[in-house]
Structure 1
Amino acid sequence: MDPALLTTPLVSPTDALKKTAPVTPERAQQLRDMPAGDYWLSVASELTWDVPPTTALEGTFGDFQYFPGAKGNVSVNCLDRHPKNRVALYYEREDGLKETWSYGDLTDATARFAAALQDLGVDKGDRVAIYLSNVPEAFIAIHACYRIGAIYSVIFAGFSASAVRDRLTDAQPKVVVCTDGTLRRGRNIPLKATLDEALEGLEKPTVIVARRLDPFLPLGENELDFAELLEKTTRRAAPVSLDANDPGFIIYTSGTTSKPKGLVHSGIGFLTGTYANVKWALNLQPDDVYWCTADVGWLTFPIFALVGGLAHGATHVIYEGSIDTPTPERPYQIIERYRADKVFTAPTALRMLRRSGDEALARYDLSPLQLVALVGEPLDPETWHWTHDVLGGGRLFVNNTYGQTETGTAWASSMVGLTEGRPGSCGHPLPGYRAAVVHEDGTPCGPNELGSLTLTEPFPCLARTVWGDHDRYVETYLSEFPGKYAAADAALLDSDGQLWVTGRLDDVMNVAGHRLGTMEMEAALLTHPAVSEAAVVAMPDDIKGAVPVAFVVPRAGIRLDTDLTWLENELADAVVSGVGAIARPGRVVVTPTVPRTRSGKIMRRLLRDLLLTGEVKGDLTSLENPDALETVRERLGGAAAG
């Protein structure tokens, strides 16, 4: 990275944000210096408990408990304790449909849906799959699970039937909640039909369908209508008192093998972490109108809206569809319509707005906007400056944050209203988190020295295990640097303690803020009968941050001296079918050979070098077939778009 970025001036929060800061700057520094356990107990004291915690941490990485013996309920903290007449949700859909839900409405619907789940035989520890887009039913269904102690699993609405099937097979849900479809750039994405395909040949769970696009969609055996079920259920389930370490949900993240990992988060541990995260990263107040643009299928939305956001009692804007439809000005329209003062989004969305031009800004009243916070992918300084100077007219505070699905929070951030940030950095480790950047041998890196990012102490919202495979959890996160959690990201801490994350150390890429595993995409390519080998690498993209590029070695019989556009298109479609539209390759390169080690492993870093610069660098001693480099270079010159 450019060393000049590390010494750019720190930017202070605006006066408006300073006035509403939850503590003084002196207290903020005390919290950062406080032992982690004491800090988390102080956070817990701001929540509602049946049995308050008296002990912070027992155990260590791989086998730990936070707040042992304490009991409470997530839904009580996010719904019941807030004023019933306050607006909880302003919902808007791509086609203009709008709904308003108060905290009273949401609490009542959640309690009745929780009772309906109980009537269907769902008990504490049973799994419920949530295959929904950004709709009020997602809030109801998820908090109903929290209310009765069921373990929910959110499945991204953009996944293919194959990807949905993998997640259902692993979690074995008793109930699946879905919508009939969702809108995306004017198209009806048929979620129910995709679910039907995913369930073929499996033992079918009860399916509850929210018919939002087609009220007359036929329902089959063991299928129920969401609205009808809610209407006929008059009983309201009481919140179950749950142990602080009981599992709350499973969320799947792509890894370096083709099987996604089902990360298990404790319900109340996640609540505690996200409550604190939102407090510091957004300075969210009860009178704020706040829009998190993320999709419910990615953990950003549960952290910053479903759980962490609602725990603060603010009014949330939720939007279903593509935020650039029917025009790239749609985000400005939403901010103006609801007078949103805080927005949480991804750098991709800001780059999209920037690309559409600045003329539209003058047509909308964006004066209420105080804060834009970001997560999901690296933030380039150019986009930071455009957001601060052009979108915000110099009055916005831009808070770039960093976290992972595994950590359950964006644990690196400015403390909004209290601490400074640097354009392009991720702020600093928040109170309660202990980070270290280390060399390959585990020794600490110095200031401004790039290394591997680790966390050195457990915290309440850290994922506890991989569903059904704790050995995989230990091997993936705790084996590389014993006694530390390995983030698998390259990073550095500058001389002011600001964190800079430069990218992944493994073969997982961020596409428009969504973390995708190359092995899942490669597995999809290998389903095509013309493919014998496949490798996927990331190519930087101005809008999405990164896009996949596939290198494919064909089976015998495929002539490489002919037009292969048909095959390249079919292979791109195979990735979409196997993983989802978000994973469509930017290019498919059909090549007779690829560089490989003596053991036959494809050397993806060399493919990445050839793609980006046309040259290779680094150690080539393990390269078995040097002639493959020139072959791939030639194929890149003639490759067509996927």
Structure 2
Amino acid sequence: MSDTDSLSSLLDTPVVPLRPEWTIPDRVESLAAARALGGPDAYWEWVANQQRWSTPWTTVRTGEISDFRYFEGGRINVADNCVDRWAEDPATAGRAAVVWEGEPGDSRTLTYAELADEVNRLAAGLLGLGVAKGDVVAIYMPNLVEAFTAIHACNRIGAIYTVLFSGFGEEAVASRIQAARAKVVVVADAIYRRGKPIELLSTLRAARDRTPTVEATVVVDRTGNAVPLVDGEHAYAAVLESGAAGTPAVPLDPNEPSFLIFTSGTESRPKGVVHSVGGFLLGTWANAHWQAGYEPGDVYWVAADVGWLTFPIQAVVGGLACGMTIACYEGALDTPTTSRFYEVCSKHAVTKVLCAPTLLRMLRKFGDDLAAAHPLPGLKLITVQGEPLDGDTFGWATSTLDVPVVNAYGQTETGSTWTYPVYGAEDIKAGSVGTPVPGHAYEILDDDGNPVPPGVKGHLVLTAPFPTLARTVWDDHQRYLDTYFSRFPGKYATNDEAVLDHDGHIWVLGRADDVINVAAHRISTMEIEAVVTAHPGVVEAAVVGVPDDTKGTVPIAFVTLASGADADAVRIELDTQVTGEIGGYARLAAVHVTPSMPKTRTGKTMRRLLRDVIVHGGPTGDTSAMEDPSALDAVTAVVRGS
């Protein structure tokens, strides 16, 4: 069986037509108008005209994909567009901007007027601590209201921010603050996760001897314990008070650095990916506009961690730039009970949800009875990104929750998702990422850089610049050029494999480095994974390739089973299923049944750690983004006991 044949079931996935009740005629018309604008530059000019500028631009774009600038001569401020312009309008000043709930059940709501006031005071307070335009502020906290205010306070004064994942330990925090050369850190004293407080301030203090650039720390009293502060630490409330007079929003060049976000992955040195002021604002406004779309009365729950770029894209910047009401939740969605997701949706009248596919798989695992006991008649949309969406989970969510499921694709480096079926306007397919939204151009290439026809997988690249594409790697521009533009000169390499089906839908198959060679047969582990997850007894799966003396590489599956599934029977059936649908060369060398898998807090399965357990007996790379170390312990125990 050829590689093309192994994709046949995927490529034959039928279109799910847009139901009449899912169709929004105004969006159908506006999308058609956007696609008819005459090319990416004309489209981005239209997007720019939806924002408020301090100074008009003179040129839409100069340069090409690895070296470009947008809206030369213009000046803009992100906080002004995301907060001030809504607070100044009597029609929207009283609209809820952020609806927050903590894991213990406490909650807080800020209107746009209230958010603008707190951002303004915090911005002035940061200036009082010596933060100037171009200085770096590190934000080390979970999903709190103060994450919104801290980010936009930086935006207001032109400081560069970097959000540190609240699950990071001492070494990860120290290395990132040191690399960013942060001048100030905004930190919560602790967070609540799975029913207990996890200290952040003490972790930061332990890292301070390795962060000499930090001159001040702003401490948010999340727990109400009034932790005694030491020299250089300032209470968040006191900083707000010191900035009571406020400060004007600073007009900024749209190409200036706005923030940096560190990626880790398999590399020993995390990359500080840099996004621009105007580019990120424009691109994320467009992203939130098409992927979720503001409708009167909406409450948009971005069920992601603020340390995952999705949260700034869809909530803090893109969502607020669209004038949306953003729901924000602090803790774990299975705490204190498995009904927490449904309870949050009901309590806050959530109409739209963005999450990783892992959340839907978790809800599916919790069962239909739980979903039936918590109906959500006001829910209109679920959109997912971050990991491949399997067809069974798509089918369960669309039928059980009775909403369209929009599957989107993007990367930290692209600064937004750029291909997905536009909500309310386009048909969907179970697992595909639809078609590129306006303003983006792509190709799928073979190893020699030649475009491949539909039905043939290849390397996914972007062929034209767009505003949210990362501009550089912090302190290492050559690394930026080498990582993203050397493989296919003149094109941005996503380093993902993809295939275009005959309906024009893109299917992202996974990382190109997850393509394995089994006895001279090349296959993506994601293709095998799709077959494994189709088994009714499998709730979640991850397939990795490991070295083999005879075949070079062989696939191994890790699976979490549905309640009542027989592990031995599933192993036998998976062998038949994989070899029958793909071919004997794809036979699983082992199937490890595990109660949980190592994940980031954003829900991404850390497949490289699974591979490490098989090959090395334990992790060899960065584990700082892992949410629950006990999951890796469980996997290790299963492998050693097999």
TM-score calculated relative to the size of structure 1: 0.81
| Deviation (angstroms), 1:315 | 1.1
2:108 matched to 1:103? no
In structure 1, C-alpha distance between the alignment counterparts of 2:480 and 2:59, rounded to whole Å: 25
CA separation of 1:477/1:576 partners in 2, compared to 1, >3 Å: closer, same or farther?
closer
Q: Indicate which of 61, 84, 88 corresponds to 1:80.
A: 84
Counterpart of 2:315, as a letter, is A
- Residue in 1 aligned with 2:16? 11
2:460 matched to 1:453? yes
- Residue in 2 aligned with 1:258? 268
In structure 1, C-alpha distance between the alignment counterparts of 2:253 and 2:639, rounded to whole Å: 59
| 1:13–1:416 CA contact under 8 A, matched in 2 | no
Q: Indicate which of 398, 406, 409 corresponds to 1:399.
A: 406
CA separation of 1:295/1:258 partners in 2, compared to 1, >3 Å: closer, same or farther?
same
Please list the CA deviations of residues 466-500 of structure 1 after superposition, one character each: whole Å capped at 9, or x if unmatched: 00000000000000000000000011111122110
- Residue in 2 aligned with 1:381? 391
Task: Report 1:585-600 matches (<5 A).
Answer: 586=632
In structure 2, C-alpha distance between the alignment counterparts of 1:451 and 1:552, rounded to whole Å: 29
| Deviation (angstroms), 1:61 | 2.3
2:331 matched to 1:321? yes
In structure 1, C-alpha distance between the alignment counterparts of 2:334 and 2:625, rounded to whole Å: 23
In structure 1, C-alpha distance between the alignment counterparts of 2:314 and 2:381, rounded to whole Å: 14
Residue aligned with 2:14, SS: coil
| Deviation (angstroms), 1:336 | 1.1
In structure 2, C-alpha distance between the alignment counterparts of 1:589 and 1:133, rounded to whole Å: 27
| Deviation (angstroms), 1:582 | 5.1
CA separation of 1:161/1:640 partners in 2, compared to 1, >3 Å: closer, same or farther?
farther
2:203 matched to 1:194? yes
| 2:71–2:254 CA contact under 8 A, matched in 1 | yes
| Deviation (angstroms), 1:364 | 2.1
2:319 matched to 1:309? yes
2:446 matched to 1:439? yes
Consecutive unaligned residues in structure 1, runs of 5 or more: 511-517, 519-536, 555-566, 591-635
Give percent identity, aligned residues only.
43
Task: Report 1:556-567 matches (<5 A).
Answer: none
In structure 2, C-alpha distance between the alignment counterparts of 1:363 and 1:175, rounded to whole Å: 47
Please list the CA deviations of residues 426-475 of structure 1 after superposition, one character each: whole Å capped at 9, or x if unmatched: 11111000011100110001102110110000100000000000000000
| Deviation (angstroms), 1:266 | 0.2
- Across the aligned residues of Structure 1 and Structure 2, the Cα RMSD in angstroms comes to 2.8
| Deviation (angstroms), 1:579 | 5.2
| Deviation (angstroms), 1:2 | 4.2
Residue aligned with 2:428, SS: coil
Comparing 493-502 with 574-583, greater Cα deviation is found at 574-583
In structure 2, C-alpha distance between the alignment counterparts of 1:190 and 1:575, rounded to whole Å: 24
- Residue in 2 aligned with 1:138? 147
Consecutive unaligned residues in structure 2, runs of 5 or more: 1-5, 87-91, 516-524, 527-543, 545-554, 561-596, 598-603
Please list the CA deviations of residues 561-609 of structure 1 after superposition, one character each: whole Å capped at 9, or x if unmatched: xxxxxx97xx56x97875544576746999xxxxxxxxxxxxxxxxxxx
| Deviation (angstroms), 1:242 | 0.5
In structure 2, C-alpha distance between the alignment counterparts of 1:538 and 1:192, rounded to whole Å: 40
Q: Indicate which of 208, 212, 215 corresponds to 1:205.
A: 215
2:157 matched to 1:156? no
- Residue in 1 aligned with 2:494? 487
Q: Indicate which of 211, 218, 222 corresponds to 2:228.
A: 218
- Residue in 2 aligned with 1:420? 427
In structure 1, C-alpha distance between the alignment counterparts of 2:406 and 2:110, rounded to whole Å: 29
| 2:174–2:210 CA contact under 8 A, matched in 1 | no
CA separation of 1:88/1:20 partners in 2, compared to 1, >3 Å: closer, same or farther?
farther
Please list the CA deviations of residues 313-370 of structure 1 after superposition, one character each: whole Å capped at 9, or x if unmatched: 1111100000111111111111111111111111000000100111112222300111
| Deviation (angstroms), 1:231 | 2.8
Counterpart of 1:342, as a letter, is K
In structure 1, C-alpha distance between the alignment counterparts of 2:50 and 2:496, rounded to whole Å: 33
Task: Report 1:484-523 matches (<5 A).
Answer: 484-506=491-513
In structure 2, C-alpha distance between the alignment counterparts of 1:14 and 1:218, rounded to whole Å: 57
CA separation of 1:415/1:178 partners in 2, compared to 1, >3 Å: closer, same or farther?
same
CA separation of 1:242/1:489 partners in 2, compared to 1, >3 Å: closer, same or farther?
same
In structure 2, C-alpha distance between the alignment counterparts of 1:463 and 1:385, rounded to whole Å: 34
In structure 2, C-alpha distance between the alignment counterparts of 1:225 and 1:146, rounded to whole Å: 21
- Residue in 1 aligned with 2:181? 172
In structure 2, C-alpha distance between the alignment counterparts of 1:167 and 1:135, rounded to whole Å: 21
Counterpart of 2:48, as a letter, is A
Residue aligned with 1:169, SS: helix
Q: Indicate which of 55, 59, 63 corresponds to 2:59.
A: 55
CA separation of 1:638/1:132 partners in 2, compared to 1, >3 Å: closer, same or farther?
closer
| Deviation (angstroms), 1:29 | 6.4
Q: Indicate which of 343, 348, 353 corresponds to 1:343.
A: 353
In structure 2, C-alpha distance between the alignment counterparts of 1:172 and 1:584, rounded to whole Å: 33
Residue aligned with 1:13, SS: coil
Please list the CA deviations of residues 13-70 of structure 1 after superposition, one character each: whole Å capped at 9, or x if unmatched: 3434433643517x52651673111110011111111123342210112221011111
- Residue in 1 aligned with 2:567? none
In structure 1, C-alpha distance between the alignment counterparts of 2:14 and 2:639, rounded to whole Å: 45
| 2:165–2:625 CA contact under 8 A, matched in 1 | no
Please list the CA deviations of residues 606-638 of structure 1 after superposition, one character each: whole Å capped at 9, or x if unmatched: xxxxxxxxxxxxxxxxxxxxxxxxxxxxxx996
CA separation of 1:30/1:585 partners in 2, compared to 1, >3 Å: closer, same or farther?
same
- Residue in 1 aligned with 2:302? 292
- Residue in 2 aligned with 1:639? 640
CA separation of 1:202/1:538 partners in 2, compared to 1, >3 Å: closer, same or farther?
farther
CA separation of 1:32/1:280 partners in 2, compared to 1, >3 Å: closer, same or farther?
farther
| 1:89–1:316 CA contact under 8 A, matched in 2 | yes
- Residue in 1 aligned with 2:255? 245
Residue aligned with 1:81, SS: helix
| 2:34–2:438 CA contact under 8 A, matched in 1 | no
Task: Report 1:532-547 matches (<5 A).
Answer: 541=559, 545=605, 547=607
| 1:588–1:640 CA contact under 8 A, matched in 2 | no
| Deviation (angstroms), 1:549 | 2.0
Q: How many residues align?
A: 554
CA separation of 1:588/1:362 partners in 2, compared to 1, >3 Å: closer, same or farther?
closer
- Residue in 2 aligned with 1:371? 381
| Deviation (angstroms), 1:126 | 0.5
CA separation of 1:99/1:290 partners in 2, compared to 1, >3 Å: closer, same or farther?
same
- Residue in 2 aligned with 1:68? 72
Q: Indicate which of 273, 282, 289 corresponds to 2:283.
A: 273
| 1:588–1:639 CA contact under 8 A, matched in 2 | no
In structure 1, C-alpha distance between the alignment counterparts of 2:354 and 2:639, rounded to whole Å: 40
- Residue in 1 aligned with 2:190? 181
2:122 matched to 1:113? yes
Residue aligned with 1:279, SS: helix
- Residue in 2 aligned with 1:462? 469
| 1:50–1:71 CA contact under 8 A, matched in 2 | yes
Q: Indicate which of 132, 157, 160 corresponds to 1:123.
A: 132
| Deviation (angstroms), 1:255 | 4.5
Residue aligned with 2:45, SS: helix
| 1:128–1:152 CA contact under 8 A, matched in 2 | yes
Counterpart of 1:639, as a letter, is R
| Deviation (angstroms), 1:284 | 2.2
- Residue in 2 aligned with 1:627? none
TM-score calculated relative to the size of structure 2: 0.81
In structure 1, C-alpha distance between the alignment counterparts of 2:169 and 2:511, rounded to whole Å: 25
Q: Indicate which of 42, 48, 67 corresponds to 2:46.
A: 42
CA separation of 1:551/1:400 partners in 2, compared to 1, >3 Å: closer, same or farther?
closer
In structure 2, C-alpha distance between the alignment counterparts of 1:637 and 1:235, rounded to whole Å: 59
2:340 matched to 1:330? yes
In structure 2, C-alpha distance between the alignment counterparts of 1:210 and 1:640, rounded to whole Å: 45
